[in-house]
């Protein structure tokens, strides 16, 4: 007798054991840019839903200068048991005008730090840093800092929203990101970085076997239902 799709689906787990699809640059405006909380939550949910549909495993949700929206997105994904890992983040402009994406912090990074001090602060607080818009001059500086807590953890070499591939001589992990600012942006994007699961764990982008055996809520046993 042929088994139903329901029983087959329950066995179709462990879809992403080895390699993950990562997009660390989804932009959402600060909370005060939204007319109300429902609008903000709807915007977050729509972009996360699009990320899931596009097959992404890890997304970074960035807002200017503060990680609160990313933290809200992370909490939403956990509470609603979405099949995606969210890394909360903020953008940051250093005193020398270098641009960073900063992740996994609960509070904003103090303003007007030099790039080395900003990276040092992030790493002292167990965060993760990407440098973006890296030109040849900045690449020389970063190469000198490499191996210390004052260097970023990686560099963004391509952002589909702004365009332009950065071909710089630098020995850091390289990321390509969509730069999507809406669900429709993400729907039309096929830009992401493939990262081995072990590497993503070491970077703090995902915890343990998170998402390996994800089971949608509609496939989980219902308890307390008569």
Residue 37 falls inside a structural domain = yes
- Asked if residue 134 is part of any domain, the answer here is yes
In a domain, 222, yes or no: no
Position 4 in a domain: no
Confidence of residue 25 (pLDDT cuts 50, 70, 90): very high
User: What is the CATH number for 47?
Assistant: 3.20.20.140
User: Of 13-17, 72-76, 159-163, which range is least confident?
Assistant: 13-17
If pLDDT is split at 50, 70 and 90, which confidence band does 8 have? very low
Which domain covers residue 75, as residue numbers? 16-212
pLDDT tens digits along 30-55? 999 999 999 999 999 999 999 999 99
pLDDT in tens, 111-125: 999 999 999 999 999
- Indicate if the pLDDT at residue 224 is higher than 80: no
Q: 25 near 156, Cβ under 8 Å?
A: yes
Number of domains in the chain: 1
pTM equals 0.85
Secondary structure (H, E, C), 50-98: HHHHCCCCEEEEEEECCCHHHHHHHHHHHHCCCCCEEEEEEEEECCCCC
Within a domain: 152: yes
Q: Is residue 9 part of a domain?
A: no
């Amino acid at each position: 007798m042929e088994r139903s799709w329901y029983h087959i689906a329950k066995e179709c787990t462990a879809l992403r054991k080895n390699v993950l699809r990562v997009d660390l640059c989804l932009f959402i405006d600060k909370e005060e840019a939204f007319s109300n909380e429902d609008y903000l939550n709807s915007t977050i949910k729509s972009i996360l839903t699009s990320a899931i549909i596009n097959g992404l495993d890890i997304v970074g949700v960035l807002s200017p200068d503060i990680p609160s929206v990313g933290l809200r997105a992370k909490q939403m994904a956990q509470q609603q048991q979405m099949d995606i890992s969210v890394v909360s983040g903020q953008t940051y402009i250093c005193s020398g005008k270098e641009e960073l994406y900063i992740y996994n912090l609960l509070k904003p990074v103090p303003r007007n730090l030099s790039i080395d001090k900003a990276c040092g602060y992030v790493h002292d607080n167990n965060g993760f840093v990407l440098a973006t818009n890296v030109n040849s001059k900045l690449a020389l500086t970063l190469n000198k800092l490499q191996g210390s807590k004052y260097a970023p953890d990686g560099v963004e070499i391509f952002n589909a929203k702004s365009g332009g591939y950065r071909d710089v001589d630098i020995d850091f992990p390289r990321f390509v990101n969509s730069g999507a600012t809406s669900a429709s942006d993400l729907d039309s994007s096929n830009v992401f970085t493939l990262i081995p699961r072990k590497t993503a764990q070491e970077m703090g982008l995902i915890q343990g076997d998170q998402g390996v055996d994800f089971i949608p809520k509609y496939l989980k046993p219902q308890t307390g239902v008569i």
